[in-house]
Structure 1
Amino acid sequence: MNDVIPLFGFTTTPLELVSFLLAATTVILDIRQVHWAWLFAILSSATYAVVFFGARLYGDMALQFVFIVVSAWGWHQWLRGGAEHRGLRVTRLGSGGIALAMASWLLGFLLIALFLRAFTDTDVPWIDGFLTSGSLVGQLLLSRKKLENWHVWIVVDLLYVGLYLYKNLMLTAILYGLFVLLALVGLRAWRDAAATGEREALPA
């Protein structure tokens, strides 16, 4: 699965290609709020962990194992995490929630980057730490169907494109470029869903 193969003028591996397809399917299902997205998220995280290990992106590799756990929790949240153990609806973060998310991102960035710099041979500890922390925040917000998860993913995915180009993971760089576009679509779709939920929640 790690044999190099040519594809559209650049090289990739069968494992990276499978990971690409699984991850793209995940985001498409996320936009549509289909709970099976979490199954594809678990599978793509498992395969991408191997891809990132080979690229010495240890923060991203470790993140995939966290994603597997969070995805299992998110799957349950989407199905049973709402009122009276019903499925969640799309909602927005309050100002306190936004501040907490940003503080968590910053703290996670510092801890992860310092760990990577001290204990691994990665050549990109700071950007790896920043994006690893941001991805975790985005995944947690997605698990709770918070609209702002798409804002996080737009920022993270844009920066990931540059990182994966630097690491010569060309197919994954293309994937994350696609993720930026899908995140914009997701933001619009979930904004409409949140507005609908807010109107329905108003007293008659």
Structure 2
Amino acid sequence: MNDPLTFLGFPTTPLELISFVLSIVTVLLNIRRIHWAWLFAIVSSATYGVVFFEARLYGDAGLQAVFIAAAVWGWYEWLRGTGEDDKPLVVTRLDAKGWIWSLAGWGLGFYILSWFLHAYTDTDVPHMDGFLTAGSLLGTLLAARKKVENWHVWIVVDILYVGLYVYKDLHLTAILYAVFVGMAALGLRAWARAAREGAR
């Protein structure tokens, strides 16, 4: 059912290919701030969870379950969430305090996850997996709250993921994350404009 195949000259599996397409759709919808992005995020996270588990990227595999829960919350936030003064959630920027808390959370998440992965799994990349898993969680939380800076996080994370997935022979996924870098740059530009305009 999930036998290896070749796509664009790269070895992959049907499940990785499906995950690839769903992820592209997710980011495209996210850039345009269309709430259906969260539905595609849920499905792509479920399929990628299996792909990553089979590649022994346990942090990333476990992260997909968290992504699913975060996507449900993000979907709710975008549809029903309120910003200040009980107004609909609009695109905004982090203040200095928000930056400090975000970076501190990323650092703490990295420490805990890399320790856990090193101590309790057979992964060969516990520190990189932990760092990128923590960063991905931060990016998702910032996106759910419509913070422009989610795209800064995704640019850093996606660049590093390209190298990790090449190392793990997930070449199609490495290409996907290279594409994500460019898409995140577009998202940053679009959301920065939306923040200036006070758009939803």
TM-score (ref. length: structure 2): 0.97
**Aligned residue in 2 for 1:142:** 143
**Aligned residue in 1 for 2:57:** 57
Structure number with greater CO (CA < 8 Å, separation at least 6) is 2
Alpha-carbon distance in 2 for matches of 1:26, 1:86: 26
1:73 and 2:73 are equivalent in the alignment: yes
TM-score (ref. length: structure 1): 0.95
- 1:10 shift after superposition: 1.5
Q: 1:85 to 1:26 in 2, by over 3 A?
A: farther
Alpha-carbon distance in 1 for matches of 2:71, 2:86: 18
Alpha-carbon distance in 2 for matches of 1:165, 1:105: 24
Q: Any gaps of 5 or more consecutive residues in structure 2?
A: none
**Aligned residue in 1 for 2:99:** 98
Alpha-carbon distance in 2 for matches of 1:165, 1:184: 22
SS of the residue corresponding to residue 148 of structure 2 reads coil
**Aligned residue in 1 for 2:109:** 108
Could you report, residue by residue, the CA deviation over 1:60-111 in whole angstroms, capped at 9, with x for unpaired residues? 0000000000000000000111247664210000100000000000000000
Q: Any gaps of 5 or more consecutive residues in structure 1?
A: 199-204
**Aligned residue in 2 for 1:155:** 156
1:118 and 2:116 are equivalent in the alignment: no
Q: 1:26 to 1:87 in 2, by over 3 A?
A: farther
**Aligned residue in 2 for 1:35:** 35
Alpha-carbon distance in 1 for matches of 2:87, 2:176: 33
Aligned residues: 198
Q: 1:85 to 1:75 in 2, by over 3 A?
A: farther
The amino acid of 1:79's aligned partner reads L
% identity of equivalent residues: 63
Alpha-carbon distance in 1 for matches of 2:88, 2:75: 10
**Aligned residue in 1 for 2:198:** 197
1:82 and 2:98 are equivalent in the alignment: no
SS of the residue corresponding to residue 111 of structure 1 reads helix
Alpha-carbon distance in 1 for matches of 2:48, 2:60: 9
Q: Root-mean-square deviation (CA), in Å? A: 1.2
Runs of 4+ in 1 over 6 A off after TM superposition: none
